[in-house]
Copies of this chain bind each other. A is one copy, B any other.
């Protein structure tokens, strides 16, 4: 195999209560990448379509993560990467992660899978770090592992694969405004009330239990974020209205996807998800802000060869 084409899906990080640790993988929306073996060692980004991103490998997250893998594997060949970008950078659904993760998963396939998924997440984290200025795996892990993931720790890197209830759907609305991850991070308090933190870790524990027991009601009651959302939601127009109406109309929970501006809802069943998408669209239609919406089953496979 000299060439591979993969689909690298969008992802939702944080998932309300699980700031910096929880994430899940979407379906239907994602980048495509073609990676081929080249006689010239190293990494070359030969094409980027969709959005304007650096073509220089050392300035592109997909190039940097690929180089991290290559530095470790030291293969006798190099790689050429074509990126067909569908996930808008800065959307809050893991655009840079999809690139960073996609290139290392593709190269790993071409090399005969020398690395496991945690190792691949590690290499991808090196690429992500260039974009976010810190080491995070909360968008990378769900892309590479699929389903719901919990980043137990970054150093050493440990990823837990959580079970995915079979009838769970996500709805995303992406208002086409830009929020930089660094800006969203700057809004966060450095200190939080112990009392609030306690509520938050009860919810994280409950959410993990809900996934294991397929308990949609408990999942719904766990999807609360009293620490981060009150700060970051201010950057997202009509967040409160979207949250209120979607929950009223049957969403299990609604929160900020990553650092925003995208908003996600989780829903039991496709019918509910379609209904929630309509609720979101009806609210945003009146705002004059351009937006996109997506309905997606939780993607248990993650990145895949197509």
Contact = CB atoms under 8 A, between A and B. Distances in A.
B201 A17 contact: yes
A19 B150 contact: no
Contacts of A203: 152
A207 B20 CA distance: 17
A209 B21 contact: no
A207 to B, nearest CB: 7
A285 interface: no
A290 interface: no
A205 B202 contact: no
A217 B209 CA distance: 19
Interface string A25-51: 000000000000000000000000000
Contacts of A200: 197, 201
A160 interface: yes
Contact of A191 (B192, B207, B212): B192
Interface residues of A, number: 39
A18 B205 contact: yes
Nearest to A199: B153
A162 B205 CA distance: 10
B193 A191 contact: yes
B198 A20 contact: yes
A107 to B, nearest CB: 29
A227 interface: yes
A45 to B, nearest CB: 33
B188 A190 contact: no
A221 B152 contact: yes
Contacts of A158: 221
A160 B222 CA distance: 12
Ranked 5 nearest A-B pairs via Cβ: A201-B201, A197-B197, A191-B191, A201-B204, A208-B208
14 contacts: A18-B205, A21-B202, A151-B202, A152-B203, A158-B221, A160-B206, A160-B209, A162-B209, A188-B194, A194-B227, A197-B200, A204-B204, A205-B207, A208-B212
Interface of A: 17-22, 150-153, 158, 160, 162, 188-195, 197-209, 212, 218, 221-222, 227
Given A20-B198, A153-B199, A160-B209, 7 more contacts: A19-B194, A22-B205, A150-B205, A189-B194, A191-B192, A192-B197, A204-B204
